[in-house]
């Protein structure tokens, strides 16, 4: 390996004492290939196994914590104990390759297609009916049930042998829908002020933490993924992101995961637009919790550029779809082996499940490919 890449391959110890072999993580990626009932399929195990080997951490696809949180066909489920045996296989598949297995836990809220949720009853923070989005506001009792469901999902992850959970508080799904003034116009204790809108994310975190304290017999990795800013007005600004990050940094998380399409992007508004979001967020965190960053880390030099901005952990998504052994090629100093586009003629070599393959083909440009 070229000496300059060594900072990517130093081991890392999370605040809870768990050590991972390097700074690289597989970003959570929905693969549209769990069984119809939400149980883990053989196809997704093959997909994960092909990518886990060279990484410190593997974050598996978002798994829905309640039936009405299902946002994708072929999404893995974690809302019932019946899923534990399959989840166990998923955790073991990752661990057998030497990586730590973290499962992302999720509720889609308004982003759930009505045909995927029971009785077509799509729920969110508020009653919403605009553009293509329609949802009913959750009652106070239902809010409490979903918070509890995140805690139960954490217990199941522990029982399945995972090394950690990551709360999916990003990408506009339910946890973010509560924080965002775009989707939350409630007038009760769960809406209105920044503090009230933040209550749901913090209550979810507390429920998960309680489950960890109660059920984990060894240190368990606890992460939270957030998106920094929304393009719409009203919508989350960097100022509100800083307030959330500040609150999250006071909780016993092992990492916060900033979800970005480009890891080195700069803010649109509400902060210094000349500096990268990761640097600004890191300033707010002020050493309280490590930050993981993601987004268009394609080349080894891209990863270094993020690492050099004092970011200890780097997640990689699409590039690991294209080049599953990306990290090994850096370590073996065979950079010429790294590919930057899928070659559709060589479909079999990628171990990409059918469902995901079809999504990639349909959304041309999302994941680069050549015919």
Ligand X SMILES: Cc1cc2nc3c(=O)[nH]c(=O)nc-3n(C[C@H](O)[C@H](O)[C@H](O)COP(=O)(O)O)c2cc1C
Residues that bind ligand X (CB under 6 A): 27-30, 61-62, 104, 168, 170-171, 225, 259, 261, 294-297, 316-319, 356
DSSP 77: B
Whether the Cβ atoms of residue 269 and residue 237 lie closer than 8 Å to each other:
yes
Residue with smallest beta-carbon separation from ligand X: 317
Q: Which of 12, 32, 79, 173 is catalytic?
A: 173
Say which residue the tokens 């080195």 belong to: 264
Count of other CB atoms within 10 angstroms of residue 349: 11
Is the backbone peptide bond immediately before 210 cis, with ω within 30 degrees of 0?
no
Nearer to ligand X, 14 or 32 (CB): 32
Structure tokens given for 63: 């798994």
Nearer to ligand X, 30 or 237 (CB): 30
To ligand X, the closest distance from the beta carbon of 95 in angstroms equals 20
Contacts of 226 (CB under 8 A, 6+ apart): 169, 170, 176, 241, 244, 245, 248, 256, 257, 258, 259
Whether the Cβ atoms of residue 201 and residue 169 lie closer than 8 Å to each other:
yes
Contacts of 185 (CB under 8 A, 6+ apart): 125, 126, 191
H helix or E strand, kind and range, residue 130: strand 128-130
To ligand X, the closest distance from the beta carbon of 244 in angstroms equals 16
d(CA 198, CA 189): 10
To ligand X, the closest distance from the beta carbon of 356 in angstroms equals 6
Nearer to ligand X, 31 or 186 (CB): 31
To ligand X, the closest distance from the beta carbon of 159 in angstroms equals 22
Structure tokens given for 223: 């992460």
Nearer to ligand X, 27 or 205 (CB): 27
Nearer to ligand X, 137 or 174 (CB): 174
Nearer to ligand X, 307 or 318 (CB): 318
Whether the Cβ atoms of residue 164 and residue 223 lie closer than 8 Å to each other:
yes
Task: Specify the length of the chain in residues.
Answer: 371
To ligand X, the closest distance from the beta carbon of 188 in angstroms equals 28
To ligand X, the closest distance from the beta carbon of 321 in angstroms equals 7
Instruction: Give CA separation, 191 vs 119, 182, 242, 337, in Å.
Output: 26, 11, 18, 51
Instruction: Give CA separation, 34 vs 29, 52, 76, 348, 355, in Å.
Output: 12, 18, 5, 19, 9
d(CA 252, CA 119): 38
Whether the Cβ atoms of residue 25 and residue 57 lie closer than 8 Å to each other:
yes
**Whether residue 79 lies in the annotated active site:** no
To ligand X, the closest distance from the beta carbon of 166 in angstroms equals 8
Nearer to ligand X, 288 or 296 (CB): 296
Q: Which residues are catalytic?
A: 173
């Amino acid at each position: 390996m070229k000496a300059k890449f060594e900072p990517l391959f130093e081991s890392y110890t999370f605040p809870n004492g768990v050590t991972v072999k390097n700074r690289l993580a597989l970003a959570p990626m929905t693969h549209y290939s769990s069984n119809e009932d939400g149980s883990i399929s053989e196809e997704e195990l093959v997909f994960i196994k092909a990518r886990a080997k060279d990484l410190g951490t593997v974050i598996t696809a978002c798994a829905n914590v309640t039936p009405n949180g299902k946002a994708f066909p072929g999404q893995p489920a974690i809302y019932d104990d019946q899923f534990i045996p399959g989840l166990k296989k998923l955790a073991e598949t990752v661990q057998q390759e030497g990586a730590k297995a973290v499962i992302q836990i999720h509720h889609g809220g308004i982003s759930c297609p009505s045909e995927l949720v029971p009785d077509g009853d799509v729920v969110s923070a508020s009653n919403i009916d605009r553009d293509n989005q329609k949802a009913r506001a959750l009652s106070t009792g239902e809010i409490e049930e979903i918070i509890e469901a995140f805690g139960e999902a954490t217990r199941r992850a522990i029982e399945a042998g995972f090394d950690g959970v990551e709360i999916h508080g990003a990408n506009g799904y339910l946890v973010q829908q509560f924080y965002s003034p775009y989707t939350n116009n409630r007038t009760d204790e769960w809406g209105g002020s920044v503090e009230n809108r933040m209550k749901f994310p913090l209550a979810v975190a507390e429920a998960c933490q309680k489950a960890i304290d109660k059920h984990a017999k060894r240190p368990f990795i606890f992460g939270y993924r957030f998106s920094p800013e929304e393009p719409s007005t009203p919508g989350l600004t960097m100022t509100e992101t800083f307030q959330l990050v500040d609150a999250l940094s006071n909780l016993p998380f092992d990492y916060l995961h900033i979800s970005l399409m480009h890891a080195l992007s700069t803010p649109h508004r509400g902060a210094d637009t000349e500096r990268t979001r990761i640097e600004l967020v890191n300033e707010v965190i002020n050493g309280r919790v490590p930050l993981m960053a993601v987004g268009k880390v394609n080349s080894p030099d891209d990863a270094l550029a993020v690492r050099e901005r004092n970011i200890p952990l780097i997640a990689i998504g699409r590039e690991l779809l294209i080049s599953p052994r990306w990290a090994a090629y850096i370590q073996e100093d065979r950079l010429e082996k790294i590919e930057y586009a899928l070659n559709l003629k060589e479909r079999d070599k990628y171990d990409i499940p059918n469902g995901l393959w079809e999504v990639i083909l349909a959304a041309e440009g999302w994941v680069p490919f050549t015919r």
